[in-house]
């Protein structure tokens, strides 16, 4: 796997004219970093391929301002909604009830759609948006003739749960009647995220497997002051956003406490959503172990991933893409609640010899975590072959595949849809 791809999202380009094509990307962002990081990667790739276009990301992420976007990309932040570990939703900051917050988000999204008037819309994961908040905007977009694309990660959930959830929300009908395309950011040989949905004949011809989204080393690279252990070989431990990552971090720390002979030191990145209490508890324990160091949040995690010798992670989609992109031996400790998405991905990847998987017994109700089980896995991890040794064709072709698929709408220097509408109005 080549590591030559460089993220040039900081590069300035000449401004485009007001009539260049426009893309809107919707990301509901209720938990963690996954959705906004995926949308950012797609947006930056599109403006790299089509420098004249404009992209707006509509997102509920509370940390979206921490990320670097390419010239031609901007964002509108809608009021945040937080998803609890039990699956319930609450407003993140506002002192409103959930219904009022959803109505406010719905109106903001609709106004962005009306004002920006995109040629292409990419909806991340939720066909009708959170609690149906996107439905009014989708009606407007259909009337205006925009190309509407649903973008799905490789795994959504267990088929029975996805079927129930999407049937009740009306999402299955939207696949058939609202969307022009369904992009799956993975490979069919790894997993079919729509497995088990009814009436597949109504939307099967819209599905396109793009491959995974390759991540890049950020450039230009400012001076980063990372902990001393990153100067040599080390294990990167990342729970993604960190909101539900305390278990894997506790297990890794306990392994170093129980077995000081683990060869490689480890850098633990807590993530922005880990509670202060847990972070303090872990920091105190790490301070007593010479082979462990920690940092809070690194929005340019690709720098550390590229530098690390190997990785321990929970197995969210974006972390999995980074592991593949930077070709790192990896141990995945997936969560199983509120969705089995990570466990399904990890088990499939393990069967394809891309990574190793270790299940957390406490998540499965099988008893306490054994520090020596994790220590054994950490001893073996540096000797594991990288993912590239399990060759899968087109594994990381997602970003160029998306750009090619949207070429008809984005390659022209002017907005073809706007020209068509003007011609029809004149006639």
Nearest-Å Rg of the Cα atoms of the chain is 22
pLDDT digits (tens, 9 = 90+) for 302-346: 889 999 999 999 989 999 999 999 999 999 999 988 889 999 999
Ranges of the chain with pLDDT below 70: 1-17, 30-34, 84-87, 219-224, 242, 417-427
Domain total in the chain: 2
| Residue 1 located in a structural domain | no
pLDDT digits (tens, 9 = 90+) for 153-193: 999 999 999 999 898 899 999 999 999 999 999 999 999 99
Q: Cα-flanking dihedrals φ and ψ of residue 147, to 5°?
A: -85, 120
pLDDT at 411: 94
pLDDT at 204: 95
Same domain? 225 vs 118 = no
CB 268 within 8 A of CB 391: no
Same domain? 164 vs 229 = no
Q: Other CB atoms closer than 10 Å to residue 262's CB: what's the count?
A: 23
Spatial CA neighbour of 220 closest among 4, 10, 2, 5: 10
pLDDT at 302: 86
Q: Other CB atoms closer than 10 Å to residue 3's CB: what's the count?
A: 12
Same domain? 139 vs 201 = yes
Please report, for the domain that includes residue 316, its CATH number. Answer: 3.40.50.2000
Q: What's the rounded Cα separation, in Å, for the pair 74 and 90?
A: 26
Angle between helices 34-49 and 398-405 (to 10 degrees): 60
Residue 187: domain span: 6-214+396-426
| Residue 275 located in a structural domain | yes
């Amino acid at each position: 796997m080549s590591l030559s791809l460089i993220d040039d999202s900081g590069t300035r380009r000449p401004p485009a004219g007001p009539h260049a094509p426009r893309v809107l990307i919707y990301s509901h962002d209720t938990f963690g970093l996954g959705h906004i990081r995926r949308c950012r990667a797609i947006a930056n790739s599109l403006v790299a391929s089509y420098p004249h276009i404009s992209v707006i990301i509509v997102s509920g992420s509370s940390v979206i301002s921490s990320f670097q976007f390419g010239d031609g990309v901007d964002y509108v932040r809608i009021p945040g909604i937080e998803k609890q570990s039990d699956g319930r939703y609450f407003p993140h900051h506002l002192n409103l009830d959930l219904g009022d917050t959803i109505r406010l988000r719905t109106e903001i999204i609709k106004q962005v759609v009306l004002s920006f008037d995109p040629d292409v819309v990419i909806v991340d994961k939720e066909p009708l948006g959170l609690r149906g908040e996107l439905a009014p905007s989708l009606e407007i977009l259909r009337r205006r003739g925009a190309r509407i694309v649903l973008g799905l990660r490789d795994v959504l959930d267990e088929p029975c749960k996805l079927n129930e959830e999407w049937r009740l929300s009306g999402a299955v009908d939207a696949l058939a009647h609202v969307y022009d395309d369904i992009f799956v950011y993975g490979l069919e040989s790894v997993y079919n995220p729509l497995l088990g949905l009814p009436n597949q004949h109504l939307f099967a011809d819209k599905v396109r497997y793009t491959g995974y989204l390759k991540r890049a080393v950020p450039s230009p690279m400012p001076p980063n002051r990372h902990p001393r252990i990153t100067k040599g070989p080390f294990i990167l431990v990342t729970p993604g956003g960190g909101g539900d990552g305390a278990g894997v971090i506790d297990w890794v720390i306990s392994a170093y406490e129980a077995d000081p002979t683990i060869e490689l030191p480890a850098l633990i990145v807590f993530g922005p959503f880990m509670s202060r209490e847990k972070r303090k508890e872990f920091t105190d324990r790490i301070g007593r172990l010479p082979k462990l160091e920690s940092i809070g949040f690194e929005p340019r995690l690709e720098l550390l991933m590229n530098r690390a010798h190997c990785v321990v992670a929970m197995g969210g989609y974006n972390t999995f893409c980074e592991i593949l992109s930077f070709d790192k031996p990896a141990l995945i400790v997936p969560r199983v609640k509120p969705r089995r998405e990570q466990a399904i991905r990890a088990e499939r990847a393990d069967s394809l010899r891309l990574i190793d998987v270790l299940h957390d017994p406490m998540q499965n109700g099988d008893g306490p975590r054994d520090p020596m089980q994790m220590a054994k896995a950490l001893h073996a991890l540096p000797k594991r072959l990288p993912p590239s040794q399990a060759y899968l064709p087109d594994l990381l072709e997602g970003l160029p595949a998306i750009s090619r698929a949207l070429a008809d709408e984005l390659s022209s220097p002017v907005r073809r849809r706007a020209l068509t509408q003007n011609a029809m109005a004149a006639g």
